[in-house]
Structure 1
């Protein structure tokens, strides 16, 4: 005579729900990583400027044509491979060595997320032009600033 094995509520939850959810999560992670790998293969050059600058022109042309084909939907095309190629070539030629966009990341950290746009722009400019800023005479600038503020207080 077969005995029915009774499970505790905890074992029942583990076997019927928890392990199922874990299996689904593992499967989803696999799918996500495959999608990210596909995105890296199709768009990876655009995410890494050093890669973009170092790619030879023929590979860049192939990349642009492939990207244009990927973005086609029937007869409609969101992207022109020739235009993209010309734009990326121009970007590589004209992009400055000093990368001001990465400077903004350094300046506006999580703790400074409430910085006004005007102040953020000023800090970015100071960071980008740090060679010029290092040559400034701070004592003289502070004296000029305080004298102007003192005049404002007097004349209000």
Structure 2
């Protein structure tokens, strides 16, 4: 709504700031106009745009593209909320008892069944509902544990180290945390792949190339790893020294 209402004002303000900056820096705005071939009946002004007109065209195109991208992401976020809204507000979902602001059990069960139908090959909606109730009872007995985010909930489940502990709830949280709202992460992997494939790595196999690309994408986590310990563990596991 903001972009639709203030589109012209944003263009005019941006153009005035740019012209003022060019004037202060003694930069020519209007460059030499290229001579273009005109079609019959076409005027000179219709052949090409001036620098100011071209700048306004680019600004409006950028605003329109930004508006479109924001609208698409908003739609996808709404869809994500419709599917996993009960997990986004995990603190209220796992809260013991009922209050005026909470959905009743039947309404919550409908949400679980809806997720189970959409991801029928990954989880079961009825079992997810039962696991939510069991997890709520477990957390009620653990006064030392405070769960407020989905990340903390899945960490609480994983700490048991058993795959059959709340399996449907674990899969549902993993789906919610990894679902792609945009394709930026996919594009980022291809960008990193271009940086990884140097002329010295032209003969690298697919497996090692995937590992290098993954290390490049997760650079922040890789920097926290002590590679001396990793090297020592690898050397001890692959040691072929024969004691005489």
TM normalised by structure 2 equals: 0.36
Aligned to 1:8: 50
Show the counterpart of 1:136.
none
Give 1:90's aligned residue. 134
TM-score by length of 1: 0.53
Partner residue of 1:62?
110
Structure 1 stretches lacking a partner, 5+ long: 103-113, 115-156
Inter-partner Cα distance in structure 1 for 2:128 and 2:77 = 22
Compute the displacement of 1:49 (Å).
2.3
Q: Does residue 29 of the first structure (1) align with residue 73 of the second (2)?
A: no
- Match for residue 167 of structure 2? none
| TM-superposition CA deviations, 1:62-102 (whole Å, max 9, x none) | 11110011113xxxx11111211111111111114541649
Q: CA RMSD in A?
A: 3.3
> Which deviates more, 2-11 or 32-41?
2-11
Find the aligned partners of 1:21 and 1:80 in 2 and give their Cα distance.
44
| Displacement of 1:37 | 1.1
The CA distance in 2 between the partners of 1:7 and 1:29, in whole Å, is: 29
1:26 counterpart SS class: helix
Residue 50 of structure 1 pairs with residue 91 of structure 2: yes
CA–CA separation in structure 2 for the residues paired with 1:49 and 1:65 = 17
Over 3 Å counting, the alpha-carbon distance change for 1:2 and 1:83 in structure 2 is closer
User: Following TM superposition, by how much is the alpha carbon of 1:3 offset from its aligned partner in structure 2, in angstroms?
Assistant: 4.7
Secondary structure of the corresponding residue to residue 78 of structure 1: coil
Deviation at 1:4, TM superposition (A): 3.0
Task: Tell me which residue corresponds to 1:71.
Answer: 119
Cα deviation for residue 2 of structure 1 reads 7.3
How many aligned positions are there?
103
Taking the aligned partners of 1:70 and 1:31, their CA distance within structure 2 comes to 21
1:149 matched to which residue of 2? none
Q: How many Å separate the matches in 1 of 2:90 and 2:125?
A: 19
